[in-house]
């Protein structure tokens, strides 16, 4: 046998003896270090189901658009729009369950009794989270999946149909999805506070008064960090800390309080029982100093099939009236009315809360979970039955209408 042949056989044997990749552990590796692998059939199925669901939801919204201008039908229009908002949350829950399963591990702060918040059925499955009916939802921002997971968690609080999100104006122009967000009455800002505060004040007052009048839940989701944690944003946070002469964070960005204070001062007079629910989010597999977007993206989770096996949420709850919002008479409707001293006091409060979250993340990276003596609740993100699957696709009403129109006229 020639030396070349022996070399080829040796190389072949070496390759065959290489241990197989354990896909169950790939979530611990940053995306660039993972072996290239796209599950083409599941990826195609996900893209088909998700995009079809989005199209059906937007088509449903377009079908009921003629109801909007008339006072007699406006309540019906608003109710159906909220129903389609819930449909999108359930669509997200379906694709997570079918293509990227994840277990939520919920822990709580010292002042919260999880046994009182959690309702289970006879089989021991979680069926309800008794969160406040009207609250502002805060969270640290690690990756673009944060909003999807939190929206799905709100399904268990029966608040997924009444969620409002503040996001950048450019997102409303995304085809199909952006149109749906406009129907959902999400709040689009341009990062020009002079213009944004007028728009936000008007819309928040409208939503708050409507929620009280209709006796419906109300949830406003805000990320005080403003953007994802990454090398570039950490550098900006560090620069800001030096400018303000305050210590920087280790695991997250310094929070900005202007928008949150504005929202609280605007909504509190309209919603007397307004609460603030804060989630500290930790993803399995991300090490200390790592960035969420380096491990989990929409593509890596749903196309490559590498999802976080566990999503850890540590929860705190406050009543808005107990926070340092400053003096607010009944006519106070805009956060801009806060004095500099009042803004400084709230900024200090939020900074202290964020430092507590930063310390919890230190413990999370060390132990792989949030340490608490209040116990923990674990549950999968999944729909509860056929009815929720049907609503995720709006019971195919636009498809049925299109078919009837086709049969009638063609």
Residue 12 lies in a domain: no
**CATH number of the domain to which 315 belongs:** 3.40.1130
Q: Is residue 209 part of a domain?
A: yes
CA pseudo-torsion sign 148, 49, 384, 210: positive
Residue 399 domain-assigned? no
Half-sphere exposure in the Cβ direction for 266 (13 Å, CA): 24
- For residue 197, pLDDT over 90 is answered with no
Does 78 reside within a domain?
no
What was the pLDDT predicted at 334? Answer: 46
pLDDT of 6 strictly over 60: no
Q: Which range is least confidently modeled, 208-222, 354-368, 375-389?
A: 208-222
pLDDT of 376 reads 92
d(CA 233, CA 61): 37
What is the pLDDT at residue 190?
Answer: 86
pLDDT of the residue at 37: 76
pTM (2 d.p.): 0.91
Does the pLDDT value for residue 10 go beyond 80?
Answer: no
More confident residue, 392 or 331: 392
- At residue 89, the pLDDT reads 98
What single DSSP character describes residue 287? P
Could you tell me the pLDDT band of residue 193, with boundaries at 50, 70 and 90? confident
Q: Is residue 274 part of a domain?
A: yes
- Helices first, then strands: H and E counts in the chain: 13, 10
Residue 14: what pLDDT? Answer: 46
| The three-state (H, E, C) secondary structure of 303-338, written as one string | CCCCCCCEEEEEEEEEEHHHCCCCCCCCCCCCHHHC
Evaluate whether residue 339 is within a structural domain.
yes
Question: CB neighbours of 205 closer than 8 A, spacing ≥ 6?
Answer: 266, 270, 333
Domain hosting residue 336, numbered range: 102-387
Give the integer Cα–Cα distance in Å for 23 and 46.
19
Bigger pLDDT: 65 vs 191: 65
pLDDT at 13: 47
Q: How many residues does the chain have?
A: 410
pLDDT over 90 at 154, yes or no: yes
Percent of the chain with pLDDT strictly greater than 70: 93
pLDDT averaged over the chain? 90
Q: Is the pLDDT of residue 288 over 80?
A: yes
Q: How far is CA 360 from CA 68, 226, 234, 240, 340, in A?
A: 46, 20, 18, 22, 30
Per-residue pLDDT, 80: 97
Write down the pLDDT at residue 372: 86
Q: What's the average model confidence in pLDDT over 43-62?
A: 97
Asked, for residue 218, whether it belongs to a domain, the answer is yes
Please tell me the predicted confidence (pLDDT) of residue 331: 43
Tens of pLDDT, residues 91-116: 999 999 999 999 999 999 988 999 89
Position 16 in a domain: no
Total number of domains constituting the chain: 1
Q: How far apart are CA 167 and CA 141, in angstroms?
A: 13
């Amino acid at each position: 046998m020639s030396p070349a042949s022996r070399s080829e056989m040796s190389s072949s044997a070496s390759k065959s003896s290489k241990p197989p990749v354990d896909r169950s552990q790939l979530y611990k590796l940053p995306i660039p270090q993972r072996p290239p692998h796209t599950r083409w059939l599941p990826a195609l199925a996900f893209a088909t189901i998700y995009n079809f669901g989005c199209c059906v939801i937007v088509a449903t919204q377009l079908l009921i658009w003629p109801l909007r201008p008339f006072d007699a039908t406006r309540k019906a229009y608003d109710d159906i729009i909220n129903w389609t908002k819930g449909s999108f949350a359930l669509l997200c829950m379906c694709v997570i369950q079918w293509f990227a399963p994840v277990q939520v591990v919920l822990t709580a702060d010292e002042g919260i009794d999880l046994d009182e918040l959690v309702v289970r059925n006879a089989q021991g499955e979680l069926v309800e989270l008794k969160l406040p009916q009207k609250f502002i939802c805060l969270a640290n921002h690690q990756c673009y999946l944060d909003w999807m997971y939190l929206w799905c968690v709100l399904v268990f609080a029966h608040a997924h149909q009444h969620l409002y999100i503040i996001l950048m104006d450019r997102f409303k122009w995304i085809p199909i999805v952006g149109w749906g967000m406009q129907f959902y009455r999400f709040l689009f800002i341009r990062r020009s506070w002079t213009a944004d505060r007028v728009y936000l004040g008007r819309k928040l007052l409208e939503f708050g008064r409507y929620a009280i009048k209709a006796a419906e839940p109300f949830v406003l989701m805000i990320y005080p960090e403003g953007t994802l944690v990454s090398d570039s944003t950490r550098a900006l946070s560090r620069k800001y800390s030096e400018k303000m002469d305050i210590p920087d964070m280790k695991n997250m960005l310094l929070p900005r309080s202007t928008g949150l204070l504005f929202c609280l001062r605007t909504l509190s007079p309209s919603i007397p029982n307004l609460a603030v629910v804060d989630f500290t989010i930790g993803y399995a597999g991300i090490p200390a100093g790592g960035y969420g977007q380096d491990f989990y993206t929409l593509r890596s989770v749903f196309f490559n099939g590498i999802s976080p096996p566990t999503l850890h949420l540590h929860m705190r709850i406050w009543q808005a009236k107990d926070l340092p919002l400053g003096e607010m008479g009944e006519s106070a409707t805009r956060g801009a009315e806060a004095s500099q001293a009042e803004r400084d006091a709230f900024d200090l409060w939020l900074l202290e809360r964020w430092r507590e979250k930063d310390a919890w993340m230190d413990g999370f990276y060390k132990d792989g979970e949030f340490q608490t003596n209040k116990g923990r609740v674990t549950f999968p993100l999944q729909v509860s039955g056929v009815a929720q699957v049907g609503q995720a696709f709006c019971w195919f009403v636009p498809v049925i209408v299109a078919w009837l129109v086709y049969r009638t006229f063609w």
